[in-house]
Amino acid sequence: MNSSFIQKNSVEYCFENVTKSCIKLSRSVGERALLYFVFVLSVLITIGGNLVVIISISHFKQLHSPNNLLVLSLAIADFLLGLFVLPFSMIRSVERCWYMGSLFCQLHTCVDILLCTTSIFHLCLIAIDRYYAVCEPLHYASKITIQVSWMFVTLGWVLPAIYSFGIIFTKSNDQGLEELVAVLSCEGGCLLLFNKLWAILDAVVFFAPCFGMIGIYARIYTVARNQARLIQTMEDRTFSLEDSRRRAQQNREQKAAKTLGIVMGVYLVCWVPYFIDTMIDVYLNFATPAAIFDGFIWLGYINSTFNPLIYAFFYPWFQKALKLIVTLKIFCPNSSRMKLYTE
């Protein structure tokens, strides 16, 4: 009798005095401190790194190009994810409780889906941009203009917004799962379940652009390899100044395509486990342990942390821009006209 009383009292709840409160995951102080340190570090790198990308492309006129406009929009999505989604997801993951209420839970989930879907749409649009830059360089300037890039950016935000807010506020994602949702729901929880139809549709929204990007980058790789071979066979030729500029531009476009291909690859590595699990889990009666599912979600979130680190490693202009920002030289007169790379 006494042992059962002690065991009952040892259970922690998200809200001690609320009926049907969620059970709070018991963690030691050390575990909480370690998890918060890792999550906070990830959030700060996500916010700070993407903020540098935003400031760099917005401030320096040399970076005002159709491609960089798409990169800027992608960085804004990652920045907003770090600012408005990750801090609340961090508390939920560590405490296993949601303290912000059901309405904010819906809003948080909408913004989460919106920003993550925006990322995949932008990566797909960036792949199209790189295709024309590398495979059809003579037509690139006429086909991919600033106006076209703005149209891409608009599509990259509007379509995910319709998709994310449509799912959550119509509650079409959990139709047919009402009894299960009622059983699993409790005060202090923020639950999102996909029925079989929406689990497939959500996977399609992710995998369809991914397969498209893989095909595009495979074509870019083939064309870039052929161009490299052609340049190799013409090494002994004396190039005019115009030829040299064209070659330098071509090399930059190819390097940008490779870098953005790496960004796409990292995105796939980070998000594929989550979408595969979501698609399969609904047929297994949601058998994935909460800790593993949470790990898949955070692996996807970490993608927004990786992107600016990839830019820092592969883009010399990012390194120079970061130096100018840290040393506050961007506040000097005409700093926006500084050259970050040779034309």
Q: How does DSSP classify residue 65?
A: S
- Structural domain range at position 160: 28-337
Residue 3 lies in a domain: no
Longest dimension (CA), the chain: 94
Counted residue by residue, the chain has a size of 343
Residue 312 lies in a domain: yes
Residue 4 lies in a domain: no
Residue 7 lies in a domain: no
Strand, coil or helix: what is 286?
coil
pLDDT, residue 38, reads: 95
Our count of domains for the chain comes to 1
Residue 56 lies in a domain: yes
Residue 280 lies in a domain: yes
Beta bridge partners of 23: 13
Residue 159 lies in a domain: yes
Residue 22 lies in a domain: no
Over residues 318-323, mean pLDDT = 88
Helix (H) or strand (E) holding 221: helix 196-233
Residue-wise pLDDT for 105-144, tens only, equals 989 999 999 999 999 899 889 889 888 888 888 888 888 9
Question: What CATH number has the domain bearing residue 85?
Answer: 1.20.1070.10
**Where is pLDDT greater, at 48 or 231?**
48
pLDDT, residue 8, reads: 45
Residue-wise pLDDT for 77-110, tens only, equals 999 999 999 999 999 999 889 999 888 998 999 9
